Amino acid sequence: MQEFSKGFKRPHKSWNEKYSDIPTPVIGDVMGRFNIMDERIKPIWKGDRYVGPALPIMTYPSDNFMIHLGVDLAEEGDFLIVDAGNYQNAGLWGEVLTVNAMEKKIKGIVIDGAVRDVKEIEELKFPVFASGINARGGYKSNPGTVNIPISCGGVAVSPGDLIVADENGIAVVPQNDIEIIYKKCIEKIDAETEIMDQLRHGKNTFEIMGLDNTLERLGIKINS
């Protein structure tokens, strides 16, 4: 018999607001280019930025039973993160689940797999990030997991990790690193603001970033 925990530790809600203005490229840079999901997972409609704690789900291919369970167990503000094996031949999320999730005030869903009812979801303005679209429905009869660590879009996701999703992609901030990553993001944003100011005053990126050293290391010479 499988057993899943109904609850898990979530980051303090103040972190949602703090990360709401941090672009995902900045987050990825300060995490060493790690913890950014594969490019195949994209927003199915152009929307705003979304931040929230991860509720991980793993589904059997072509089956969305565990997604229904995840919606049932989710708390307000959760972000459903679904490993559907990048299965493209069934839309495992659609209008019905969207309305259910919105009534529970779930923040959104990221699914490494296909969805359907795109027009209806866009009209409802519910955040959905997916790796595909398919009109074929899924089954509701096979096992999977909820609230157990998964891999989604090539990134490990644990319950309570902070998800930041925007038009650039999806960043996963490990819950234990939320504070230090935030501090590094602020430092990077400040540094980039200074770079932009120097660029506007006539300098170039090659000069500002000291890329002459890279030329030397690579043995490249620029002739006059």
Percent of the chain with pLDDT over 90: 82
Judge whether 23 and 168 are in contact, CB under 8 Å: yes
**Structure token pair of residue 108:** 């959104």
CA torsion 36-42-46-49 (nearest 10°) is -20
Residue-level pLDDT at 1: 65
CA–CA separation, 125 vs 35, rounded Å?
Answer: 26
- Chain-centre distance for alpha carbon 55: 12
Q: Give the start-to-end residue ranges of the domains of the chain.
A: 14-175, 183-218
- Mean pLDDT in order along the chain per 10 residues (224 residues): 80 96 96 96 88 97 96 97 97 98 97 98 96 96 95 98 96 98 97 91 85 84 82
123 CB-near residues (< 8 Å, 6+ apart) = none
pLDDT digits (tens, 9 = 90+) for 86-113: 999 999 999 999 999 999 999 999 999 9
Residue-level pLDDT at 223: 85
Q: Which CATH class is domain 14-175?
A: alpha beta
Residue-level pLDDT at 217: 87
**Structure token pair of residue 174:** 């490990």
What SS3 class is residue 187? helix
With tokens 């659609």, the residue in question is 94
